[in-house]
Structure 1
Amino acid sequence: MKQQFKRFRVRTVTAVAALAFAANTWAVDPFTVRDIRIEGLQRVEPGTVFGSLPFRVGDQYNDEKGSAAIRALFALGLFKDVRLEVNGDVLIVVVEERPTVADVSFSGTREFDADTLKKALREIGLTEGRPYDQALADRAEQELKRQYINRSLYGAEVVTTVTPIERNRVNLTFSVTEGEPTRIREMNIVGNRTFSEGTLKDLMELDTGGWLSWYTKSDRYSRTKLNADLEALRSYYLQRGFLEFRIDSTQVAISPNKQDISITVNITEGERYVVSGVKLEGDYLGKDDEFKSLVKIKPGEPYNADQVTETTKAFTDYFGNFGYAFAQVEARPEIDRANNRVAFVLAAEPSRRAYVRRINISGNNRTRDEVIRREFRQFESSWYDAAKIKLSRDRTDRLGFFTEVNVETSDVPGAPDQVDLNVSVKERPTGSLQLGAGFSSAERLALSFSIKQENAFGTGNYLGVEVNTSKYNRTFAFNSVDPYFTADGISRSFDVYHRTSQPYDEQGGNYQLVTSGVGLRFGVPFSETDTVFFGGSLERTQIKPGTSIPAAYLAYAERFGDTSTAIPLSIGWSRDDRDSTLLPTKGRFQRLAAELSPGGDARYVRANYQYQQYVPLSRQYTLALNGELGWGKGLGDRPFPVFKNFYSGGLGSVRGFEQGTLGPRDITGASIGGPRKITLNAEVIAPFPGAGNDRSLRWFGFVDVGNVFGESQKITASDLRASVGVGLSWLSPIGPLRIAAAQPVRKKAGDRIQRFQFQIGTSF
């Protein structure tokens, strides 16, 4: 009875009482804690509770510490209720755990997949295994609505269903009624005087819809897209002399049924200004003439904001070449409103020289740091050099392992003469494992198996095994490339191959060319952009007669035998200063390769030269030029081997003609190629409509000219074939995909036309 009376006198402090601990009704006399017990735990570890308490066994307990303990335990977010009970000098912590989220599911979602929505909820703290909180569920509803609003689905409704299950867990189901997307029905630009409203609307990505809106979604409102459009509008005016152009306001109105949006942009054009002059002020390190040569601002022409930006950037970069990483260059306009003229003062303050303390690399989850560091020409503990940093960035990008390479400079706290370089990369898949069937316009059905890894184990080495069983080309090949065989950057390539090929022939012949070989090649860099290659191989080619065999092949086999051996020695040179190998927008690529076979049954010399130039026409448009010349000749009394001929026609040469069908033919009508080749290509590349600035998906218009010629055939312009057309380029997960629709504009009777072509892995 005495024990029951003692238990009856237990003091209890709840969460509500903790808010009014000052009241004497809930006061507990201070005492020394002899023991602490915890009740109500199911999943939470006792150590989590003990670690949050502001007292331990043997400490003095009072009301203030009790209030602090309750606040600390609630702050964990793990408990729905917390109570403190005092039984003599024993403190009892009674908790009620929040239910745990067992599963999160969605119904009615068509615009997003479940993984995308789960990721959005995970970022706000709602995911499987976390404690359930009603406030968090409300936030989740708002986050889901925000995701739908970003897709212009303003009428989307979200209902949350909480289903309790065993072991104090709950299932969350978000039922979504998406509704129809809200579309832009009206767009107005007010205040324009110089340019028509139609001209200005054409600059904007958002519009009121068109025949391609189902794909581009250009009639769906997005604040991000609108901001980009306003910036395009501002840039358009600032490039054309309107120095004081401004956007006064933007009104976005949505209809009561949340189905229609109207956008009104109010602008003030201002007056058009002409540049009257440019002068330099400040410290230019005694190199005023060099800096003046970098000025892009042109007196006598309308003001152009891009020219001002290019000039200040060129100045800053040039200061960086001498170690001045913190140089400040300001373009101050001196406006003469009476005459609508503006002069610019370029004020420079080089500040202090700096050297690079550390180079930090991030984003390379797979690629080893050394693969990136060995491409850098800016070294740690060396003076900051902007030219070397740009070269390092370009060399890293040219590896082809990354879709993005960015280099940023950050100050070192407490060290005014030091900076850190932060290199961030975004890796792309560089390996592929394929087993299955494929189809192309040239090869028809092909079974293939290949394992390719351009960045094997993150080392930067290339390894590949390829097996292909197409109609025209059967291949087994093993390739290995070590780009840093030596620490100085000498590369080594090793090849073993066995190829069975049938030249393109519409008559369905079953003759074959079987080529087996092994080769070794080295590449020696002579500068940052120049590499010389040399090597040798042993090769065996067999002509297997069959139906429809070209007479040229049959004649060669009868004269020199069905099997020919060759010992081709190769030497070559390449120069590559493109800004990217995958998606170049500027720069030049040249390659010269020569092959000499002085011994064996096949004795010949063969050379090939390729030139590519990429010219940026604007931020989004690029002009790409490509030229290729091929030449071959037999040595001694032997003709040039027919199986070494060049081919032309189709993707990679002159589009619009069947693959490899241009040039000489024998008496059977079969295309046999020739020892001389000319190919010229020109492309204008632009982003695909609706893809924004995504460089991996682009369209292009092109002009192709070329042909192949026999050894004794005279090369004349009248024999060249030409075509024009449009195409689509996509850097797909399985390789570069190019689709082209071409119309031959110069052709001759008997040419085999193929207006639609596609292929994976070709560059031009």
Structure 2
Amino acid sequence: MISPGLAEAEVFKIADIRVEGLRRIAPGTVFNYLPVQVGNTVSDEVTGGIIRALYQTGFFDDVRVERDRDILVIRVRERPAIAEIRISGNKDIETKALQSALADIGLKEGRVFNRSVLDRIEYELERQYFARGKYGVVVQSTVSPLERNRIAIDIQIVEGLTARIKQINILGNRAFTTKTLLKQFKLGASRWNSFYTKNDQYSKQKLAADLESLRSFYLDRGYIKFEVKSTQVSISPDRKDIYITVVIDEGKPFTLSDIKLAGNPPVAPERLFPLIQLKRGEPFSRKRVTESAERISALLGEEGYAFANVNTVPDVNEDKQEVALTFFIDVGRRVYLRRIEMEGNTRTRDEVLRREMRQLETAWFSTDLVRQSRERLQRLGYFEEVNIETPSVAGVADQVDVKVKVKEKPAGSLSAGIGFSQSDGILLNASVTQNNFLGTGKRVAVAFNNSQSTTLYQFGYTNPYYTVDGISRGFNFSYREVDYDELVGADYAADLGSAGLNFGLPITDTSRAGLGISYQYTDFTAGDSAIAQDFVAANGHTFHDFVLTASYTRDTRDKAIFPTRGSLRTFQTELAVPGSDLQYYKVRYDEQLYIPLTSRFILALSANLGYGDVYGDLKELPFFENFYAGGPRSVRGFKANTLGPCEIESNDPVGGNLKLTGSIELFAPAPVGGEFEKTLRLGTFLDFGNVWATYDSDLLAPTGFDLGELRYSTGLSLTWLSPIGALSVSLAVPLNEKDGDKTQVFQFGIGQTF
């Protein structure tokens, strides 16, 4: 306010300015906001401007302007500072999240207190809880004064119960039943799984998305005049139930009377019309029209017309309820690629990136080839990020450059780990790996793994571009000590040495063929096992074999960890060539198929088939080359490696030369939110499988192939990508165990996945 003495005084010239009443705020801060300075003349208008300017800072509760001879005196009373903010009663929203939101609005410890800000925050907190369906929330704030002109703020929240959608009504529908239309909604009345899907929690954004889905449903069935007339959302007096009413006007269905192409496209109509998946006389479908236009644009992009526009022009005849559709194509000029530039690859050589590029310089620019190039660079595993920009060349209308920007991640790793599984016991491992050795793209790895059943030493080297065509070449050397008594329960052991050479041939971007040859040394110890002693007596205990392998792999999964779509198919053959001590062959086929059912649920189907047999003087497949089934990564609910034939004398499992296993599993992320949604996966499954010995033997039982011997189990699974490795847990119930089967309901492992 203005001092009366100053108001009545004459105008004067300021000789000095004095500020009184400051405690925390520095005088310089006040002077920065003053609209006057020493030497200015003071009048009533000037003093009013001083007061307004200081009030607008939000620092002061009171401002007075006075005169002491030729000195301008400004007396202020500072607003209190916020010493502490306490929040209680919140469960649905974390305290840290609330404190961060309060700080963004202006309520934070150490800042000047402003009552209007606190009122606005109470309203904002209520709005956030309303968005979560808690319409009965009560937010109360208490301001307590403290010494030294400070205050403490207590915000007490009574969240109340979450309001649930009780009913959704649709009025005005004649062509489709309400039940059919409600299937287009993600929102809905409470049901048994609403705790997981949260379908009964109303939000304005969710309802808008559902109304758009409803609109698309009608437009895809020819109702081009469909309209949502009104939407009403009401809540019960106790604020527990929500009722939604949607009023629609369906209009009448329209059919396609004609389909035309216009714009003189450079591609022959015979190539374009098959991309238009519409037929005359069928109902108009916006979705199929859009998809057809996108396919035409993609084809033109592959032909070098990167900036082509495909516009659909409908000609509506309301009297006949028909639509004549014209695809107008504006291709522009054919675009060529001038230059490819690499950025960010400080370690990786340019040639490693360029050999993955499917888009070539001076060629037509193809959006599809650029996309393929980016995917191939991402699959290398050398980079955290891969971004491709396509700027136009300045001054030229038909040329672009491709700028590949990568962010490298460490290509080498030194790792050591410890884990545990019920089948292998304690797992120790250490490895030194360079996936991008000296920036050349070559892989070098040295590894050591140890468990109760197996000790492994391994060295590997792979050059993925041994030739410019992408043929790879690799060398592998390994030594294993396997105690089968710890692994499967049969009393025998083996020392296995291997040295191999392998080649890989790319067939397509998603498929690859492999060919390898290796020398294998086996030193066998029979122990008390009757079948092992019989085999050693007939064939000896030391073997030198040359094994030829061939494989085919097709991988269309969207990602290697927790895939949501695509498949992984592998076919592999293994042949101990003539001249080897043991002459046998093995064939394997594995397939994993992932089908997205909804945005959260993934159906996974898997099948594994293996068969082995002998030629030459051997009578049956060496039993230490047998297949095994049962356990976490096979048929859950049965103890690892225990299904199939057993020794008659000891009842120890020995595996078989024929294997068939599979699984049907429904996956979903855990309903916990946050980062755990990406690292935690739940599943329910049905496993089946077994192994058989298809040859006659007096030492084994049973023998012969019989699908009636398939074992089944069902249960629940959980996989967590924890900081110390993958934690896998399953609870499985065998459905048809028989006498002699070894079951295991609870199975888990750390450091492995299944």
CA–CA separation in structure 1 for the residues paired with 2:532 and 2:105:
70
Q: Does 1:609 align with 2:609?
A: no
From 162, 167, 171, the counterpart of 1:186: 167
Change (3 A) 1:296 1:635: same
Q: Which residue of 2 aligns with 1:159?
A: 140
Residue 305 of structure 1: how far off its partner (Å): 2.9
- Residue in 1 aligned with 2:612? 632
Q: Which residue of 1 aligns with 2:127?
A: 146
Q: Which amino acid aligns with 1:673?
A: G
Task: String of CA shifts for 1:136-186, please: whole Å, max 9, x gaps.
Answer: 444433333233222211122223345566887665443211111112223
Could you tell me how far 1:117 is from its partner in structure 2? 2.4
Whichever residue aligns with residue 141 of structure 2, its letter is: T
In the comparison of the two structures, how many residue pairs are matched? 724
Deviation of 1:219 after TM superposition, in Å, equals: 2.3
- The AA in structure 2 aligned to 1:671 is P
**1:352-375, Cα deviation, whole Å (9 max, x unpaired):** 55578999999x9xx999999986
Once residues 244 and 565 of structure 1 are traced to their aligned partners in structure 2, the CA distance between those partners, rounded to angstroms, is: 78
Distance across 1 between alignment mates of 2:124 and 2:414: 37
1:250 aligns with 2:239: no
CA displacement 1:489-542 (0-9 Å, x = unmatched):
75868786756554799xx94746465667777665635334455667776666
Cα separation, partners in 2 of 1:173 and 1:641, compared to 1, 3 Å: farther
Cα deviations across residues 646-691 of structure 1 (Å, max 9, x unaligned)? 2234555556765444443332443322233345666677888999
Say whether 1:670 aligns with 2:652.
yes
Which of 190, 199, 206 matches 1:209? 190
Aligned counterpart for 2:691 among listed residues 703, 708, 712: 708
Q: Deviations over 1:310-330 (max 9, x none)?
A: 112212222222343433222
Q: Which runs of 5+ in 2 are unaligned?
A: 697-702
Aligned to 1:721: 710
2:575 equivalent to 1:591: no
Matched-pair contact (CA < 8 Å) for 1:329–1:347 = yes
Letter in 1 for 2:204: R
Distance 1:525 1:51 in 2: 73
Q: Deviations over 1:523-567 (max 9, x none)?
A: 656353344556677766666667xx6533343355556676767
Establish whether residue 332 from structure 1 lines up as the match of residue 332 from structure 2: no
Give the partner amino acid of 1:608: R
> Hey, what does 2:176 align to over in structure 1?
195
CA deviations on 1:104-141 (whole Å, 9 max, x unpaired) are 44211221222332343344354456555444444433
SS of the residue aligned with 1:226?
helix
Contact 2:145 2:152 in 1 (8 A): yes
Quote the Cα distance in structure 2 between the aligned partners of 1:504 and 1:374. 47
AA at the equivalent of 2:531: A
**Is 1:209–1:218's contact at 8 Å kept on the other side of the alignment?**
yes
Change (3 A) 1:480 1:209: farther
| Deviation per residue, 1:7-27 (Å, 9 max, x gap) | xxxxxxxxx679xxx999796
CA RMSD of aligned residues (A): 6.0
Correspondent of 2:94 among 91, 104, 113: 113
User: Given the alignment of the two structures, is residue 292 of structure 1 paired with residue 273 of structure 2, yes or no?
Assistant: yes
**Aligned AA for 2:331?**
P
Deviation at 1:333, TM superposition (A): 2.9
Per the alignment, do residues 117 and 281 of structure 1 end up closer, same or farther by CA in structure 2, a change over 3 Å counting?
A: same
Q: Alpha-carbon deviation of 1:251?
A: 0.8
TM-score, length of structure 2 as denominator length: 0.73
TM-score by length of 1: 0.72
Contact (CA 8 Å) 1:515, 1:542: kept in 2 or not? Answer: yes
Q: Percent identity?
A: 33
8 Å CA contact 2:644, 2:655 repeated in 1: yes
Alignment of 1:124-143 (within 5 A): 124-127=105-108, 132-143=113-124
Q: Which residue of 1 aligns with 2:700?
A: none
SS in 2 for 1:233: helix
In structure 2, the CA distance between the partners of 1:566 and 1:291, relative to structure 1 (3 Å rule), is same
**In structure 1, C-alpha distance between the alignment counterparts of 2:221 and 2:463, rounded to whole Å:** 48
**Alpha-carbon spacing, 1:612–1:105, altered in 2? closer, same or farther (3 Å):** same
Q: Secondary structure at the match of 1:293?
A: helix
TM-superposed deviation, 1:715: 8.0
How big is the shift at 1:387? 0.8
Three-state SS of the structure 2 residue aligned to 1:312 is: helix
**DSSP 3-state at the match of 1:320:** helix
Aligned residue type for 2:557: R
1 CA distance for matches of 2:73 and 2:460? 69
Q: What SS does the corresponding residue of 1:345 show, helix, strand or coil? A: strand
- Distance in 1 (alpha carbons) for counterparts of 2:125 and 2:321: 52
Unaligned ranges ≥5, structure 1: 1-15
